Structure 1
Amino acid sequence: MTLKIYYLLSKTLTVVFLSLFVLINIAFSQEIFRFNKIGLKDGLPSGTAPLSFTQDNIGFIWFPVLGGVVKYDGYEFQTYNTFIGVNDTVFYPEIFYVFEDNNKDLWAAGKNILGKYNRKKDCFYFYKIKDESTQSSLPSVYCVQEGKNGMFWLSTDDMGLFSFDTNSKKFQQFNHALNNTNSINSDTLSDIVIDDSGELWISFFTKGLCKYEKEKDKFIRFSSNEMSSYNIVSDSIHALCKDNKGSIWIAFKNRVIAELNPVNNDIKYFYITGENINPSAIITTIFVDNNDLVWIGTYREGVILFNKETNNFIGIKRDDMISENDINYAYSIFQDKTGLIWIGDLEALHTYSKNSQVFINYSDDEFFNKMINNAGIQDIKSVNKKDIWLATTNGLYKWQINTNSFDHYLKDNNPNRDPKQFGSNSVSNIFFDNKGNLWAATFSGLYKFDTTSMSYLNFKHNPNDSFTMGPDGPDNIYEDKFAVIWVSTDNTIDKYDNGNKTFKHYNIATVRSFFEDSDGILWACSGSRGIYKYNREKDIFEEFYDERSFRGFSMITEDDNKNLWAASFYSGINYFDENSFKFQSFSIESGLPSGFVNNLIKDNSGMLWLTNRLGISRFDPERKQFKNFGEPEGLKIKDFLTTSVYKSPDGRIFMGGKNGMVSFYPAPLNQITPNVIFTDLKIHDISVIPSDTSVLKSNINVTEEIELSYSDNSLTFEYCALDFKDPLKNKYSFKLEGFENEWSQFSNLRTAHYTNLNPGEYIFRVKGTNDDGVFNEQGTSLKILILPPWWKTWWFTVIWIISLALLFGLTIRFITARRYKKKLDKIRQQQAIEKERLRISNDMHDEVGS
């Protein structure tokens, strides 16, 4: 539902557009909003200012643009700028509203036009609302609502209300009558909506609200006039919408919205005020999403969000410093079938998903970096919800989140130094034991730090005492469930005896981390060899190492099925089978952007998160699939430091690097199975246009079978999965039955090309995934019959065989007849000779007798 903002604005405004992801961090009910912007560089048609959106039953997104309608599949925009009328007349429409009815027919409405989409022919046919030859002014339709029994209701900006009977194809006009209080309030409508009982509600820019009772053919008025039967706070209403619970939401011109109960006409008002909000902003649209969050679009002031549960408003508006990236004009707001929010801006679309992964980059926080002196963050830990402890190259910091303050514990060379200080500026690793003591690994030894008394113990290597900590360390610290402290150095693993304050050494080098699995087994990862399992009965570490495929491990963890996974500096993430003592690597060939992995942690949903040289990756141990995050997804840090990862009790993950830190709550997986459809068919690299005379009789996305000639044997199939959250990460696999037996590897490619196909029957099948790897196993398919040339058809073969047989028969007959004739001629010749002999004999006999 939208305020009428004319397209003339596009001629007077100049805006810079980017197709990069935009991060807008807003603390709103513990939610951070991250929007994806789709602009001109992504192929969006110039002049776009969508006043409405709809999603058809197949899954395409449709919206109006200057001079037509656009269909979007997540990759490409197809514009329909001609409509077809009676006698195949062509019309160039101005469209303001698109929608799909209950019969799954798509409609487009605009200036004096109501168009219906023919999916098979892939074109629009139209009905004229008024006879242009007899009208001085024509209605412009900005909203259409579907009522009962095939009745459409059309809202116009200055010619009242229209109805359209889809059965009779007739329009009826409802106008304001000056002396009739039962007529419509005004001819200048702002919006319409139909409630759950089928009643039509109509708002006006300056004349309030009314409800149409069709049974009585009567309009019930709501007005700010005290004499009105139903009183409202203002007569200036710009938009309406209905939520999932049946309430009607009213957006006044500015400052206030309201929730109306259409059953008893009760109205509750909410006055707009809050952070980052201009209450005087002109409201263009209002929408309530599936989670009951109210979205309010404004003119040049972005979007305002209202949480009814907390009664809080917050604004998402343009920032003059980055105005090319932010929401500016929010003309329309829509939610598709997957829950994705769409916002129509001037020459831009914005999308938002609750499932989008949002990263908070502390490298962008000037205050944070100033407090830690731009130090590299080598480890992160916490013992409560209030404090985060940071081990850095510039000492130890306690970050008190609630007050956003920092306590800094730094080296002090003064012998009489403050007990809060300790002996090294670089802290490589920290750990809290079960008594709340903080253990810190530094260049000057191991520290046990009492965070209450601010006192500490220091453990160093003494070459003359074998019971002190090993040399060249410590590197990593861990406490197992038996309250045993384990410390790694460059050359040993050391077990600390708290009673004797001594260390026992195990000659295992370069251990980067420890991990205790769900069965209480302690594991250690060596950066120069394999992984080690601690045998408590024998008090030894057992090594798992394959010299033929050197791994070099950084961290190890366990998935929800108790499978062990180890991160390698060289071979990605490795599944370790303890029974076979073998590693299975998942690295670059499996979709990981880099084989170097130096952090690994499991989130609360069972997904594994890891860092590599190009960013952060999420690994699904069930599907064996990676999803990678980098700069396009809003990540600003690449140089992560080894074992600098931590998961807080509420599931938030922190990862540290050379130039700061990033934190995030793992987003839930996008579990919506995408619809996979065909978008184009090319023969010899030329797209086939559907028509009665074409080999493609209907639109390719509704075609099940095609028949081709033998010369049409070079085919290109184009397809897509209609999931718009992050379409560039949707993946596809295909095969051509009758030509190949195996499915292709999943990839981002959306085309499949085949050449020189032999005549025969084929079935092209394709299946696709969404951005989180959830795939449509059934996919879609197209049956192809390539006819043989006429000389290879069965009927030609039959005719050829019959002809050959006939020729053979005729030849045999000819030869037989010829032989018979020769034989007959010979017999006749013999008979003639015999007759001649007989004549001669008779003549001789007569002569002798005489």
Structure 2
Amino acid sequence: MKNIAKINYIFFFISLFLVSQLSSQNFRSNSEYEFEKYAVEQGTAMNASIVVFEDTNGFIWLGSQSGIDRFDGYDFINYANISSDSLSTNLTWVNSITEDGLGNIWATDQFGNVSNYKRLEDKWYNYFPEYKDLITNVPEGVDLNFGLQPSSIVVSKDGRYAFVGIFGFGLIRIDSETKTQKFYQDNFRYSSWFDIKSADKMINELEWLDDTNILVATGDGLRVFDTEKEIYSEEYFRTKNKNQENNFPSDRYWIRDFEIIDENNLWISAQNGIIYKADLSNETLENFSAKTSLSNSDARQILFDKDNNQLWVNIENVGIDILDINTNQVNNLRESNSRLIGKEFNNIIKDKQQNIWISSATDGLLKFDPNKKKFKSFSKNEPDEFNLGFSIAWGAHIDKEGVVWVGTRDPGGGIVGLDFKNNKRYFSGKTNNNNASLYEITEDNVGNIWAIRGGDVIWFKQKDKKKFERLGSYTNKLRKDKSFLRSLTQGHLTYDKNLIVPSDRTVWLADKQGNPVYEEYTRLTNVVKNSIRGFQRKDSISSYVLADKSIWLWDEKGNKFTDLTPDIDIPVLETRAQAPFAAYNEKLYIPTYGSGILVVDLKNQKINYITTNEGLPNMYLYNMFIDSDNFLWMSSNQGILKCDPKTLEFKQYTPVDGTQDYEYNAGTAWQSDDGYIVMGGLNGINYFNPSTLNENRVPPKVLIQNINIGGISKKFESVSNDEIADIEFKNNSISFEYLALSFRNTAQNQYRYKMEGYDSDWIEAGTRRFASYTNLPIGTYTFRVIGSNNDGVWNEIGASYKLNILPPWYRTYFAYGGYILLLIFSVRSFGKYQAKKSIVEANNKRRTKELQEAKELQISLLPKVNPTIQGYEISTYLKPATEVGGDYYDFFYKKGEYFYAICGDATGHGVISGMMVSVTKAGLHGIPMAEPSKILGQLNQIVKKVNFGRLRMSLSVAKFNSNNVELSSAAMPPTYIFSTKNNTLEEILVPNLPLGGIETEKFDGIKKEFKSGDLLIMISDGLPELPNPSKEMLDYKKVFNCIKNNAKKSANEIKDALVSLSDEWSEDTLNPDDITIVVIKKTN
């Protein structure tokens, strides 16, 4: 029995240890709670918010004095009370929001109003507070307009009944079908908030327990309301004697908020700010405020985070407390001790993506994303227990014990050691010399740490000591002919445990016992004559040696050397190659400072480069490591970069992801044997293990938001449609707006789409969130769109919309029956048939003549010659389609005043398209020259008034100023701008509707820097949509790459390159749509 007891005792403590370890992993320091702020600057209607809510789609709704905002990760949409619009909401001080089972939003405000938003109708249906008219015995001076406020609302799944809790009145029910209101109170006398006899009227919170029962928080305990029987069926924690003068007896529990744990347990915040854990099965309360370090101040709204077993508590006018329920540890977040913004908050929610959202009474909306910071950074002052104490890190190493050693470039120098296992921090080596110095830090066989400062001064820390000692300048101890030892870099531990350091001539720094040697390592340098830049271990007995002009394989055990690049010279000096480097699949990947990644193919004796042309985010690299999954990791001047060498897919991590800064430093990185990496730069270090990085693995929900069919837009906001949508042939121009719902770095979300039955492959949309199709042929299609989150995790299912383009009346079965009858009649009337045939021939001749006239009209509308403008090269190209289209380009130039370039495309073919272009050209000559967006606005009104029916005009306008260009577009393909300064090509898409659509349409514009050597290219959609004989489209990506590869050539050469691209792709296939190219290059 004693043994059993002993085993149970040991098991108990092992279990306790495991629980504490698990909890400690979830417990964060205050500094790790970083909040993003969304306020007026980010698009909210106000900086003060009252309530936040997440709907089933994942949209975030925010209530404030100015109505309701909806946030999709990109933009806020405000729904405000507009007195002249009966379909707008009647809400102002919005204090409660919920959703019914149909996806419609319900909300209340502090004046008692209720409003229901029908999502697909985009309309609000309003209900006014009838209960206020029933109140009697209202004391003098009491204003009911702002009193007896709704506190909470829940709605039945079918959306018919809304149950509203009114603080001071009780529960009411709104019937959305009959528009009637029902009151579950028979006492309409005004009641003071503290009166215990009226405590049931003081409702603070409602929540569904199941499909029928609502849990109600009141001024005297909890009640359960049965919505079918319309009675209160159960009560908990109620005052036993209400017939007493004391309004706050000891057994009265004023429930302010609650969070359901399971069917029997819940968390409660009650009067005096106390947090209880309630057990409904035996009606007991456990006071957690008393047993933990939760604040003694006034606890209000709470959130139970089930995933992390944490309770978030809003402490009124103080801050936020976070209780770790496993350990009872508490984070008391305040403005003064954390990154919490403000101190006055309202409710707290957790969304489906694990974000915590807090409505702030002064600072809009706060978001805590627990997984946003993939990298933990260590800077001058953070984190508290492991701060570096300095800013610029230069020199880094991870020793065998896992201690991270970092040197600083700050004046006076110094080296810090971060011992995470033993929770210790060491610092030493600072001098009175305020010169900035660089460190190279390495470790010998016995665990001594060597730090070479400034190239020749050695600082040394013995394994069992805490501080570094200055050994002085080792070059002074050497013969004068060894002054080359001043340029030492990071060390390499050989097979026989000697510590050597690459240099102009590699140095033997310490032997296997850790004793200093300070000699040239001749067993290596006698064979490899050129300077050695770095080593990369291949296996336990051999290493790659990177030397000037060559790469060697060094069998360290047998001291044998193999020249791996006998047929090629490795441009180490020319490319400023860096170390460490990486080996994968018989190739060496060497980071360079300015030339990208130098790839040495050892098998085929070839070298090539991975640059920005292949997607590398930055060309200035400092080091490279390979992880257990064969991904390459490197630091750069644009953050930390990750590369898959098999696919050349890149991922860039910046300060948004937790990197110490954008810029890193050379010689300030190391990878430990167990895979941990340290990288340092201008604002500290990052220390991480690639295998445990917290990538955003949750694919975003993809929705189609809006669909425009034949110029008429309608809300969809769904993943798919259940039935195929039939669309008349006259409305066969369709566009879609779509969205990937993700709230982390949404600017990095990517999209692909295709129209199955029309597109042969997926179209890479990048970050663009709309797709347009014009003149879809008759047939059945499915539009599909997929999206990725910021970490490139795709929702491969995405969203879809099924549609069927109906044939015109003349291609229906009814019409075909008529054709048969007509044929029979024609056989019987041969003479008339011959006459009709003659008429047809005449019509064909007429149509041919009309097409020729249309072509001549199109040519007549184009400039006879391109203008000659000082400081610009201009080249143009227009290739008409088989049926003349409506492409158009033009220039408007007045010396010393303005220079505009125009490129457009009228929908349809033939003379009618030419007429549209004529009207557009005439309009351009008739309106004053202004900003491009204003020009498009005026043209839109002109085209709309002429009324071409469903014919539309797409148009891009560019205005060239001395050092910039202003752009606006009406449904044209993107404009391309190449910056010589940044060596980047940018695809500019300004999403506006075509001319002739909505007369009041406001057109957006954009301004970009445009200096000498910069390039602007406009195209019509005939180029990217040009098919080859296999009916595959050329697509925008090939156009983009062609421009980028030729961007530094003349305007004429760039135009010729694009023309050649189209000719080679089409293989003499006739183009179905006009192709227009306008190239403008600034020469001074």
Fold match, TM over 0.5? Answer: yes
Partner in structure 1 of residue 537 of structure 2 = 516
Partner in structure 1 of residue 349 of structure 2 = 334
CA distance in 2, matches of 1:171, 1:814: 74
User: Is the Cα contact below 8 Å between 1:50 and 1:344 reproduced in 2?
Assistant: yes
Alpha carbons of 1:458 and 1:479: their partners in 2 closer, same or farther (altered >3 Å)?
farther
The more displaced of 378-387 and 715-724 is 378-387
Alignment partner of 1:259 is 2:277: yes
Partner in structure 1 of residue 663 of structure 2 = 639
Alignment partner of 1:433 is 2:461: no
Aligned pair count reads 760
Q: 2:90 aligns with which of 76, 83, 92?
A: 92
Alpha carbons of 1:348 and 1:464: their partners in 2 closer, same or farther (altered >3 Å)?
same
Q: 2:332 aligns with which of 315, 330, 339?
A: 315
Alpha carbons of 1:427 and 1:315: their partners in 2 closer, same or farther (altered >3 Å)?
same
CA distance in 2, matches of 1:714, 1:170: 44
Q: 1:670 aligns with which of 696, 700, 705?
A: 696
Paired residue type of 1:355: N
Alpha carbons of 1:199 and 1:752: their partners in 2 closer, same or farther (altered >3 Å)?
closer
CA distance in 1, matches of 2:597, 2:305: 43
Unaligned runs of 5+ in 2: 1-25, 137-143, 836-1084
Partner in structure 1 of residue 497 of structure 2 = 483
Deviation per CA, 1:325-349, whole angstroms, max 9, x where unpaired?
8244321211112222222224622
For residue 291 of structure 1, report the CA deviation from its aligned partner: 0.9
Alignment partner of 1:39 is 2:42: no
Partner in structure 1 of residue 681 of structure 2 = 657
For residue 311 of structure 1, report the CA deviation from its aligned partner: 1.8
CA distance in 1, matches of 2:163, 2:647: 48
Alpha carbons of 1:411 and 1:98: their partners in 2 closer, same or farther (altered >3 Å)?
closer
Alignment partner of 1:742 is 2:761: yes
User: Is the Cα contact below 8 Å between 2:386 and 2:418 reproduced in 1?
Assistant: no
Alignment partner of 1:720 is 2:739: yes
The share of aligned pairs that are identical, in percent, is: 20
Partner in structure 2 of residue 567 of structure 1 = 591
Paired residue type of 1:263: S
User: Is the Cα contact below 8 Å between 1:555 and 1:568 reproduced in 2?
Assistant: no
CA distance in 2, matches of 1:39, 1:213: 38
CA distance in 1, matches of 2:631, 2:429: 34
Alignment partner of 1:142 is 2:142: no
Paired residue type of 1:640: Y
Partner in structure 1 of residue 790 of structure 2 = 771
For residue 734 of structure 1, report the CA deviation from its aligned partner: 2.1
Q: Describe how 1:362-761 pairs up with structure 2 within 5 A.
A: 362-363=379-380, 376-384=393-401, 388-390=405-407, 392=409, 394-399=412-417, 406-408=427-429, 426-442=437-453, 443-444=455-456, 450-452=462-464, 460=475, 471=485, 473-480=487-494, 482-490=496-504, 492=506, 501=517, 503=521, 504=523, 505=525, 506-507=527-528, 509=530, 511-517=532-538, 521-525=542-546, 532-536=552-556, 537=558, 539-543=560-564, 552-557=577-582, 566-570=590-594, 572=596, 587-589=611-613, 591-601=615-625, 608-619=632-643, 625-633=649-657, 635=659, 637-646=661-670, 654-658=678-682, 660-663=684-687, 667-682=693-708, 688-689=713-714, 702-703=720-721, 705-710=724-729, 712=731, 714-745=733-764, 747-755=766-774, 757=776, 761=780
User: Is the Cα contact below 8 Å between 2:73 and 2:741 reproduced in 1?
Assistant: yes
Partner in structure 2 of residue 185 of structure 1 = 199
For residue 53 of structure 1, report the CA deviation from its aligned partner: 0.5
Paired residue type of 1:143: S
For residue 470 of structure 1, report the CA deviation from its aligned partner: 6.3
Partner in structure 2 of residue 296 of structure 1 = 313
User: Is the Cα contact below 8 Å between 2:555 and 2:561 reproduced in 1?
Assistant: yes
Unaligned runs of 5+ in 1: 1-25, 413-423, 691-697, 817-850
Two-structure CA RMSD over aligned residues (Å) = 5.2
User: Is the Cα contact below 8 Å between 1:50 and 1:64 reproduced in 2?
Assistant: yes
Partner in structure 2 of residue 345 of structure 1 = 360
The answer to which structure has the higher helix fraction is: 2
User: Is the Cα contact below 8 Å between 1:376 and 1:658 reproduced in 2?
Assistant: yes
Deviation per CA, 1:507-565, whole angstroms, max 9, x where unpaired?
36565443325666423456x65755434456215445966998634333478x99975
Alpha carbons of 1:90 and 1:250: their partners in 2 closer, same or farther (altered >3 Å)?
same
Paired residue type of 1:672: V
CA distance in 2, matches of 1:745, 1:174: 57
Alpha carbons of 1:161 and 1:377: their partners in 2 closer, same or farther (altered >3 Å)?
same
Alignment partner of 1:154 is 2:164: yes
Report the 3-state secondary structure (helix = DSSP H, G, I; strand = E; otherwise coil) of the residue aligned with 1:28: coil
The more displaced of 494-503 and 350-359 is 494-503
Report the 3-state secondary structure (helix = DSSP H, G, I; strand = E; otherwise coil) of the residue aligned with 1:271: helix
CA distance in 1, matches of 2:595, 2:646: 19
Partner in structure 2 of residue 220 of structure 1 = 235
Alpha carbons of 1:742 and 1:286: their partners in 2 closer, same or farther (altered >3 Å)?
closer
CA distance in 2, matches of 1:142, 1:629: 43
Deviation per CA, 1:117-141, whole angstroms, max 9, x where unpaired?
5444344546667478767869643
The answer to which structure has the higher strand fraction is: 1
Answer with 1 or 2: which has the greater Rg: 1
Report the 3-state secondary structure (helix = DSSP H, G, I; strand = E; otherwise coil) of the residue aligned with 1:782: strand
User: Is the Cα contact below 8 Å between 2:502 and 2:533 reproduced in 1?
Assistant: yes
User: Is the Cα contact below 8 Å between 1:285 and 1:330 reproduced in 2?
Assistant: no
Alpha carbons of 1:522 and 1:314: their partners in 2 closer, same or farther (altered >3 Å)?
same
CA distance in 1, matches of 2:750, 2:99: 28
User: Is the Cα contact below 8 Å between 1:183 and 1:219 reproduced in 2?
Assistant: no
User: Is the Cα contact below 8 Å between 2:677 and 2:688 reproduced in 1?
Assistant: yes
For residue 643 of structure 1, report the CA deviation from its aligned partner: 3.1
Paired residue type of 1:630: T
CA distance in 2, matches of 1:231, 1:386: 59
Paired residue type of 1:154: V
Deviation per CA, 1:119-169, whole angstroms, max 9, x where unpaired?
443445466674787678696433235789998653222211245789999
Paired residue type of 1:554: A
User: Is the Cα contact below 8 Å between 1:182 and 1:218 reproduced in 2?
Assistant: no
Paired residue type of 1:160: G
Paired residue type of 1:478: H
Deviation per CA, 1:642-672, whole angstroms, max 9, x where unpaired?
1312467998754322554455676411211
For residue 741 of structure 1, report the CA deviation from its aligned partner: 2.2
CA distance in 2, matches of 1:591, 1:754: 29
Paired residue type of 1:32: E
Paired residue type of 1:75: Y
CA distance in 2, matches of 1:163, 1:439: 76
Alignment partner of 1:249 is 2:267: yes
Partner in structure 2 of residue 819 of structure 1 = none
